[in-house]
């Protein structure tokens, strides 16, 4: 199953991605956590050592490898570069979680066929190995990253929103775009909920959202997701697994 986590800046995409990664891993799934945000922070949220993270090269910077595998740049290059060994060579590992950092992906126009993108898409699309494998992609904020390329093969999009009008607006745009790009299942997470009023506000927009409370400890900490809102994350986990099976999703 491939899961993409999206939403407005600062709403909690990385926190939710890390929480889900840990939960899936704790239940015996093989998790591949992908930081698709150039402004990388998923590694820290997962608790990787900072020195290890600093030494980890983002996949997009592996120019030589990309060149070798895609036959160089230009309009005509191999669209299916061989990538199956990249995971073993470049991913960091904690328990059942393997972690890859994508780095900056070129955007827009004819650039979307650049060799880096071809490589990255081939990589992500080749990551699924068996039934127990789960890919969790922490996307960059907003909608610019949501393209046909990045949406390819995504089974479930988890859209995170805060109880604010602006983040709800972004969530709605993300949901719409995801649908247009062919992502069939979506789950809305209402994050940082402080009160019944917050919950009512979000449920009036997304009746079946999965709520996560504001957790002061998390806010004051270093961003590492430990046992914060474990019970609520279980609910999210169940919703994601259900959506992955093709069951009801609550976003649309």
Ligand X SMILES: Nc1ncnc2c1ncn2[C@@H]1O[C@H](COP(=O)(O)OP(=O)(O)OP(=O)(O)O)[C@@H](O)[C@H]1O
Q: Is residue 141 a contact point for ligand X (CB under 6 A)?
A: yes
Instruction: Report d(CA 43, CA 95) in Å as an integer.
Output: 14
Q: Is residue 170 a contact point for Mg ion (CB under 5 A)?
A: no
Q: Is residue 6 a contact point for Mg ion (CB under 5 A)?
A: no
How many residues make contact with ligand X (CB under 6 A)? 19
Q: Is 154 left (phi over 0), alpha (psi -120 to 50) or beta?
A: beta
Segment contacting Mg ion by CB under 5 A, of 14-22, 71-79, 164-172, 208-216 = 14-22
Closer by beta carbon to ligand X, 22 or else 69: 22
Question: In the structure encoding, which two tokens stand for residue 15, read together?
Answer: 């926190």
Q: How far is the CB of 166 from ligand X (least distance, A)?
A: 13
179 binds, among ligand X, Mg ion, none (CB under 5 to 8 A by kind): none
Assess contact for 4 and 183: CB atoms under 8 A. Answer: yes
Q: How far is the CB of 173 from ligand X (least distance, A)?
A: 15
Question: Using DSSP, how many helices (H) and how many strands (E) does the chain show?
Answer: 11, 8
Residue written as tokens 């997304």? Answer: 206
Length of the chain: 252
Q: Is residue 177 a contact point for ligand X (CB under 6 A)?
A: no
Closer by beta carbon to Mg ion, 11 or else 23: 11
Assess contact for 26 and 180: CB atoms under 8 A. Answer: no
DSSP state, 222? Answer: -
Closer by beta carbon to Mg ion, 53 or else 66: 53
Assess contact for 144 and 42: CB atoms under 8 A. Answer: no
Q: Is residue 191 a contact point for Mg ion (CB under 5 A)?
A: no
Q: Is residue 246 a contact point for ligand X (CB under 6 A)?
A: no
List residues bridging with 2 in a β-sheet: 135
Segment contacting Mg ion by CB under 5 A, of 11-19, 20-28, 87-95, 98-106 = 11-19
SS3 content of the chain, % helix, strand, coil (to 5): 40, 20, 40
Q: Is residue 219 a contact point for ligand X (CB under 6 A)?
A: yes
Q: Is residue 14 a contact point for Mg ion (CB under 5 A)?
A: yes
Q: Which of 78, 223, 244, 250 binds ligand X (CB under 6 A)?
A: 223
Residues 39-98 that bind ligand X (CB under 6 A): 41
DSSP state, 74? Answer: S
Specify burial of residue 131 (Cβ count, 10 A radius: 0-12, 13-18, 19+): exposed
65 binds, among ligand X, Mg ion, none (CB under 5 to 8 A by kind): none
Q: Is residue 218 a contact point for ligand X (CB under 6 A)?
A: yes
Chain residues in the site for ligand X (CB under 6 A): 7, 9-15, 37, 41, 141, 191-192, 212, 214-215, 218-219, 223
């Amino acid at each position: 199953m491939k899961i993409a986590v999206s939403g407005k800046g600062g709403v909690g995409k990385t926190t939710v991605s890390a929480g889900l990664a840990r939960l899936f891993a704790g239940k015996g799934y093989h998790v591949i956590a992908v930081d698709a945000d150039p402004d990388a922070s998923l590694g820290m949220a997962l608790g990787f050592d900072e020195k290890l993270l600093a030494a980890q090269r983002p996949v997009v910077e592996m120019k030589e490898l990309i060149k070798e595998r895609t036959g160089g740049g230009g309009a005509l290059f191999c669209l299916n570069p061989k990538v199956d060994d990249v995971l073993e060579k470049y991913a960091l590992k904690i328990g059942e979680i393997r972690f890859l950092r994508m780095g900056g992906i070129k955007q827009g126009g004819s650039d979307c066929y650049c060799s880096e993108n071809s490589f990255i898409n081939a990589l992500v699309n080749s990551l699924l190995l068996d039934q127990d494998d789960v890919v969790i992609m922490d996307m960059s904020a907003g909608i610019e990253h949501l393209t046909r390329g990045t949406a390819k093969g995504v089974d479930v999009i988890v859209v995170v929103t805060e109880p604010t009008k602006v983040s709800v607006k972004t969530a709605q745009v993300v949901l719409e775009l995801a649908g247009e790009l062919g992502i069939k299942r979506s789950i809305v997470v209402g994050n940082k909920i402080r009160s019944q009023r917050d919950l009512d506000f979000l449920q009036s927009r997304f009746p079946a959202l999965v709520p996560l409370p504001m957790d002061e400890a998390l806010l004051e900490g270093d961003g590492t997701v430990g046992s914060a809102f474990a019970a609520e994350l279980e609910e999210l986990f169940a919703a994601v697994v259900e959506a992955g099976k093709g069951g009801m999703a609550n976003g649309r």
